[in-house]
């Protein structure tokens, strides 16, 4: 079968690999002349297999007014009166129900476990080098009520991840790079099995392996404009360089997936959550960050990133509901200030400023399944966890296209549950 993958971010590339590995002829189309140039370029680097809780939750609902109105908030609406945002927002409120959260966490944990094993398989079999390391993750809490809730959750579900609740003093002794006073913390949860890895380096490695495959064709530097239908079926895509035909198409265009779906005549509830990152190169002698750290209150992540002969630190966060990709210096300053406060690193020199649009669904679950338009499969909407969930989502996509997986297994990610 000839299958065309729309988008060459981490989701499109992993999908293309699984399909090519299964023996299909694969065409990869992207508007950029190289791969992983958008949301997959400089993300938080956390492979977060145990922390998959959705953004929509009863706790978020309680904090929503202050989250949206405070100038220091990690989440702001900067989209004006956008009908797509209003519709997304209403679905988000519905997804805050405890039952919906439980369903999402169960589905995401299963997909995360599949992703972890698929990532290990891919990186070993293809000998990919992207700084994959089981660094462990420390989540620090500043509010007692939130720490108590997290502690109760790990006691109720001990799981296989060996999660531990730590006192503030234990957090600081586990991660000496943290320059906080114990009095500023309520506690932390440490998960020794969590990993870190450089998503852009992974994508670069996978791209070079895909370029050696005889059954993979590249159509880069090409803008997808819309669908070409025949007899109610998608038979080709219209691009600025002509039509690309295939038997099936897989939609992996990240934050732009919703616009393509609209042109195909159906609604895809994916909205961009704009985030920022900086990458720090600590001076020689500065304390090395040993684990990845998440500051729950500020929704910021800090991850040690292997780079040639040194370790850099990726600082990422912020979730503004906004479509543009211009870097706002004021939002970037939030990351600079946090680096100084938490790690004692003054981010003054070249910090590789970056922003990207997370393609986010109201319930934070990706959409993986056949679309209402015959011939078009969707693998998109991975939000905050696209790097973590990429390899499992690609496996699921290839298996579903080949009818190897029952619809029930995948129903948690079907478009219908989110539409």
Closer residue to ligand FAD in complex, CB, 186/196: 196
Is 277 a binder of ligand FAD (CB under 6 A)? Answer: yes
Taking the complex as a whole, the smallest distance from the CB of residue 168 to ligand FAD amounts, in Å, to: 24
Is 133 a binder of ligand FAD (CB under 6 A)? Answer: no
Closer residue to ligand FAD in complex, CB, 139/186: 139
Among positions 43, 115, 123, 279, the unique one binding ligand FAD when judged by CB under 6 A: 43
CA angle 376, 84, 57 (to 5 degrees): 95
Is 227 a binder of ligand FAD (CB under 6 A)? Answer: no
| 33 Cβ neighbours under 8 A, 6+ residues apart | 220, 221
Is 32 a binder of ligand FAD (CB under 6 A)? Answer: yes
Is 46 a binder of ligand FAD (CB under 6 A)? Answer: yes
Closer residue to ligand FAD in complex, CB, 384/412: 384
Residue 122 forms beta bridges with which residues?
Answer: none
Is 136 a binder of ligand FAD (CB under 6 A)? Answer: no
Is 223 a binder of ligand FAD (CB under 6 A)? Answer: yes
Q: Torsion-angle region of residue 80: left (phi > 0), alpha (psi -120 to 50) or beta? A: left
Region of 64-72, 73-81, 261-269, 377-385 interacting with ligand FAD (CB under 6 A)? 377-385
| Binders in 286-345 for ligand FAD, by CB under 6 A | 301, 316
- Phi and psi (nearest 5°) for 18? -60, -40
Is 79 a binder of ligand FAD (CB under 6 A)? Answer: no
| Binders in 83-112 for ligand FAD, by CB under 6 A | none
Dist CA 73 CA 67 (whole Å): 5
Among positions 4, 16, 19, 45, the unique one binding ligand FAD when judged by CB under 6 A: 45
Taking the complex as a whole, the smallest distance from the CB of residue 82 to ligand FAD amounts, in Å, to: 18
Region of 69-77, 149-157, 182-190, 252-260 interacting with ligand FAD (CB under 6 A)? 252-260
Among positions 3, 4, 5, 40, the unique one binding ligand FAD when judged by CB under 6 A: 40
Site residues (vs ligand FAD, CB under 6 A): 7-12, 29-32, 37-40, 43-46, 48, 223-224, 252-254, 256, 275-277, 301, 316, 356, 358-359, 380, 382-388
């Amino acid at each position: 079968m000839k299958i065309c993958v729309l988008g060459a971010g981490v989701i499109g590339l992993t999908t293309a690999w699984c399909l090519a590995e299964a023996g299909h002829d694969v065409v990869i189309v992207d508007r950029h002349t190289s791969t992983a140039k958008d949301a997959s370029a400089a993300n938080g680097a956390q492979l977060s297999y145990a922390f998959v809780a959705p953004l929509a939750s009863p706790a978020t609902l309680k904090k929503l007014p202050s989250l949206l109105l405070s100038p220091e908030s990690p989440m702001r609406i900067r989209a004006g009166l956008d009908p797509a945002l209003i519709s997304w927002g209403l679905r988000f409120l519905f997804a805050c129900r405890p039952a919906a959260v439980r369903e999402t966490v169960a589905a995401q944990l299963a997909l995360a476990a599949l992703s972890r094993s698929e990532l290990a398989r891919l990186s070993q079999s293809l000998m990919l080098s992207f700084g994959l390391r089981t660094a462990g993750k420390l989540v620090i809490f500043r509010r007692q009520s939130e720490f108590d809730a997290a502690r109760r959750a790990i006691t109720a579900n001990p799981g296989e991840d060996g999660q531990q609740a730590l006192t503030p003093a234990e957090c600081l002794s586990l991660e000496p790079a943290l320059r906080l006073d114990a009095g500023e913390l309520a506690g932390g949860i440490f998960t020794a099995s969590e990993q870190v890895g450089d998503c852009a380096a992974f994508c670069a490695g996978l791209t070079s392996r895909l370029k050696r495959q005889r059954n993979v064709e590249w159509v880069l530097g090409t803008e997808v404009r819309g669908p070409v239908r025949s007899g109610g079926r998608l038979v080709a895509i219209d691009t600025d360089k002509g039509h690309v035909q295939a038997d099936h198409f897989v939609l992996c265009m990240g934050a732009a997936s919703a616009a393509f779906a609209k042109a195909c005549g159906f609604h895809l509830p994916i909205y961009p959550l704009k985030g920022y990152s900086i990458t720090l190169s600590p001076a020689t002698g500065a304390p090395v960050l040993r684990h990845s750290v998440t500051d729950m209150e500020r929704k910021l992540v800090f991850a040690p990133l292997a780079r040639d002969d040194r370790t850099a630190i990726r600082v990422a966060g912020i979730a503004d509901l906004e479509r543009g990709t211009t870097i706002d210096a004021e939002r970037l300053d939030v990351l600079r200030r946090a680096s100084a406060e938490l790690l004692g690193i003054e981010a003054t020199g070249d910090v590789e400023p970056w922003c990207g649009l997370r393609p986010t669904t109201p319930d934070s679950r990706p959409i993986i399944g056949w679309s209402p338009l015959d011939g078009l499969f969707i693998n998109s909407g991975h939000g905050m966890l696209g790097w973590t969930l990429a390899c499992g989502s690609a496996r699921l996509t290839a298996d579903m296209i080949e009818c190897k997986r029952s619809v029930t297994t995948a129903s948690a990610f079907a478009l219908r549950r989110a539409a």
